[in-house]
Structure 1
Amino acid sequence: MTSLWSAHLADRRPTEPLDGDTTADVVVVGAGLTGLWTAYYLLDADAALDVLLLDAGVVGEGASTQGLGACSADLAISAERVALAFGRDAALDLRAAMRDAVVEVGGALALEQVECGFGFGGALRVARSTAQVERLGELVATAPTWGDEWSLLDAAGAQEHVRVPGVKAGAWTPDCAVLDPARLVRGLLDVLLARGVRLAERTTAQRVSPHAVLTDRGTVRAPVVLTTVEAGVPGVATGRTLAAVPAHALATTRLDARAWGEIGLEPGVVVREAAHLPVQARRTADDRLLLTGAGHPSALDRALATLFPVADPAGALRWSGRLGVPRDGLPSVELDPASGLGGAGGFGASGVTAANLAGRTLADLACGVESSLVHLPWVGHRSPDWPPLGGAAVSLAMRAAARADAAESAGRRSRTAAAVLDRVPIG
């Protein structure tokens, strides 16, 4: 399904598929953002490396170019849960690394002169019910514990950023930027190709094994084999099992100055309601209102009518995709030195930023660099397997979240949602 961003890739000619057996120093299966950043930092560490990227389709067709284009420090798992599993210092390190990654993305793009509209605008969470106000208060109160910067805003303060009907409070952080994900992918790919990275598109990896990848076009042998596709490949070393969470997007037609005057949202700011099943929104460079969220596509229409009633849904562009979410919400980055097998994934809706951090980490692991990144708690982490009916668990969680949001909007409480979402992350 065509996304708003895909026009920036329409005139790109795909590379040829793999033409028989070959070798490389490092082969990366999956040329989405994680694979591209991994290749970038591998060459940054050793420009002489022979890096081969494999992609089953065409670069830019996957989840990397389907989302909001928000580069934020958020993860599906809370710092509190990371601390419970790995200790407070590990949680602090991961939070700092995610915040730094937002800055790193901007710095790398500036260095390589990749024009993709990257710009800091911050993120705003708005509360429209008493329960949402309480959640924002808890977020702001606990943020300093983990080094995060969130400021509590009253209704008037929130309305200075966006005029959402019925807003009671807001919370603001500067640690968020926006970009055009398709132009990011294309620009980063151009940089890599100019540096000698090889890319074989329309080449499907059928099996990954130590030091080799069997594809439908031939076998690639390499000391290091990294898998960066969310769907997974038989025999992959990381053993990740991810639930496919449906994600949807809606982009209005271009809104005029009067509509934007009523909405009051500036380009670069990411807005999210403090709901259990939140919808995020931003203003694009060409003056469209873009909304994304998990669950049912109709949730975006309801959010548009409720939060931005002046925006007309007629003629809106809509598309859908899926996000890979681990059972405990914590992504994984892994490399086994003995087999040379490794990979990364499970980023959910945090992929723009987490892909960069994971790519840097994989490059350090592959090149034997003893950096702080290789000691982050997601390195070597394996999330518990989803049960056979993991998809049903995710669907149940999303329905519980939607019911809780409806109850809170009506002034009622829902204790079920918090318990369910604590056990089943949804992106």
Structure 2
Amino acid sequence: MTTVAPHPLWWDGAPVPASRGTEPLPREVDVCIVGGGFTGLWTAYYLAVAEPSLRILVLEAEHVGFGASGRNGGWVSGLWPVSMDVIAAEHGRAAALALQAALQDTVDEVGRVAGAEGIDCGYAKGGTLCLARGSAQARRARAYAGHGASWGDGTVWLSAAEATERLAGTRVEGATYNPHCARIQPRHLADGLAAVVRRRGVTVAEGRRVTSIDAPLVRVAGGWLVRAAKVVRATEAWTARLPGLRRRVAPVYSLMVATEPLPTPVWDAIGLRDRETFSDHGHVIVYGQRTADDRIAFGGRGAPYHWASGIRPAFDEDPSVFETLRTFLRDLLPHLDGAEFTHAWGGPLGIARDWHPSVGYDESAGVGWAGGYVGDGVAATNLAGRTLADLIRGIPSPVTQLPWVGHRSPAWEPEPLRWLGVNAGLRLASAADREERITGRPALLGRALARLTAH
């Protein structure tokens, strides 16, 4: 039996920083970015491109791509966790359409930069396929496609035959397809971006944990103090660890598994010839991709939220969730019978109380931020980086006018309400899927789930 690696598939062969935590830090910089994930690296990239003279410092507690940026499913998608209806209700239809267009353009922008900078991250734009497995999912999926059409977002309904031609899953009654999604190897993108910004003069200091941000001062573990004219908080799920910010986002864990590389005959039977990412219309979120080396990387929610927004290495693993993911994937794709699973890993993502990502810059405080991506951050971080670069430089632009700029989500409830509410939502999602399998109708529990999550 194959030994299952407990680290992300994406980290295989990743470089180990030679000087992690040992190099001296500058005492004063123009911009200090806290967090070496996609948000921080994209912000550093666009700032360095726009103004090469800026003294930019990126501080990362572990290594670049340590958090969600190096653990995710590798979907560069135009998806957004809040519906365009919600955006339009607050900001108007034109603003919602502008955000939708910006997100779709961002999928291409990630590929453009990767190509221009020579970052080999396996970028392949094949769109995303969301299967409808069973009659209840099919009813909801048709409604989803119709809603997408009303916004012109590119979503189309596929018949069962059309869907299984793309992905030969079981019990498929159709699917929705959207072209605005690409697949990547996320750690390669993070490492590639770090190398690029270093070449452009940015200091990326790994192994440097920030203990507090009190602009213009950034305190680093070990007693080091950095003075920055402007500070960017790009800490996503780890935001909850900073003083005074525990209720800003809830760290919720998502776990993944990966198969061994699959032979050509198996892929001929399964499909995904265009490297589509894939999911289904269940209430429990799942997501997968065909990797550049012909594995399936597959993940989903289901791990519990931990008391007081806890984040620990032990939480990256949950044997029962890993087994659920493997069972689900084998049920979906019987052609995997006999295939070994080689990796199993997890990590936290950041969820704002209203499920609404945000980006902004407080000129009076000299502090910028972005996050709360709810798992849709691989593309959104690029848009955030471009937006922060313009906001920090005081340059009005189309991206600084988008309706997520300056959004302030309400704080999460204090414990024990936060623990009870988040975990109740996870259980409701599973129960709603069970209800649909039994009744064949859209779940009544799905409405309760929507009310609980308030989005």
CA distance in 1, matches of 2:345, 2:351: 19
The yes-or-no answer on 1:216 pairing with 2:221 is yes
| Amino acid paired to 1:65 | G
Q: CA deviation at 1:419?
A: 2.9
Where do 1:131-210 residues align within 5 Å? 131-210=136-215
| Amino acid paired to 1:191 | V
Q: Percent identity?
A: 37
Aligned to 1:307: 332
Aligned to 2:119: 114
Aligned to 2:360: 334
Matched-pair contact (CA < 8 Å) for 1:325–1:425: no
Deviations 1:191-246 (A, max 9, x none): 1111110112111111111212011241111110111001115357x897111111
Matched-pair contact (CA < 8 Å) for 2:128–2:277: yes
Equivalent of 2:453, from 417, 424, 427? 424
CA distance in 2, matches of 1:122, 1:197: 33
Q: CA deviation at 1:12?
A: 4.7
Aligned to 1:281: 288
Stretch deviating more after TM superposition (261-270 or 204-213) = 261-270
Aligned length: 425
The yes-or-no answer on 1:402 pairing with 2:408 is no
Aligned to 1:19: 24
Aligned to 2:276: 269
Q: CA deviation at 1:11?
A: 4.6
The normalised TM-score by structure 2 is 0.89
Equivalent of 1:244, from 237, 244, 251? 251
Matched-pair contact (CA < 8 Å) for 1:116–1:179: yes
Deviations 1:155-212 (A, max 9, x none): 1110110001111011111101011111111111111111110112111111111212
SS at match of 2:439: coil
Q: CA deviation at 1:309?
A: 2.1
CA distance in 2, matches of 1:313, 1:246: 26
- Give the unaligned 5+ runs of structure 1: none
Q: CA deviation at 1:425?
A: 7.2
Aligned to 1:234: 242
SS at match of 1:421: helix
Deviations 1:79-100 (A, max 9, x none): 1122223322222121111111
Aligned to 1:353: 379
Aligned to 1:259: 266
Equivalent of 1:316, from 334, 339, 342? 342
Matched-pair contact (CA < 8 Å) for 1:328–1:423: no
SS at match of 2:162: helix
Equivalent of 1:367, from 393, 403, 412? 393
CA distance in 2, matches of 1:153, 1:361: 35
Q: CA deviation at 1:18?
A: 5.6
The yes-or-no answer on 1:225 pairing with 2:251 is no
Matched-pair contact (CA < 8 Å) for 2:247–2:413: no
| Amino acid paired to 2:108 | V
- Give the unaligned 5+ runs of structure 2: 1-5, 304-320
Distance change in 2, residues 1:18/1:119 (3 Å): same
Matched-pair contact (CA < 8 Å) for 1:76–1:350: yes
Aligned to 1:40: 45
The yes-or-no answer on 1:29 pairing with 2:57 is no
The normalised TM-score by structure 1 is 0.94
Aligned to 2:308: none
Q: CA deviation at 1:274?
A: 0.9
Aligned to 2:297: 290
The root-mean-square deviation of aligned C-alpha atoms, in Å, is: 1.9
Aligned to 1:415: 444
Aligned to 2:313: none
Stretch deviating more after TM superposition (227-236 or 324-333) = 227-236
Matched-pair contact (CA < 8 Å) for 1:129–1:409: yes
Q: CA deviation at 1:323?
A: 0.9
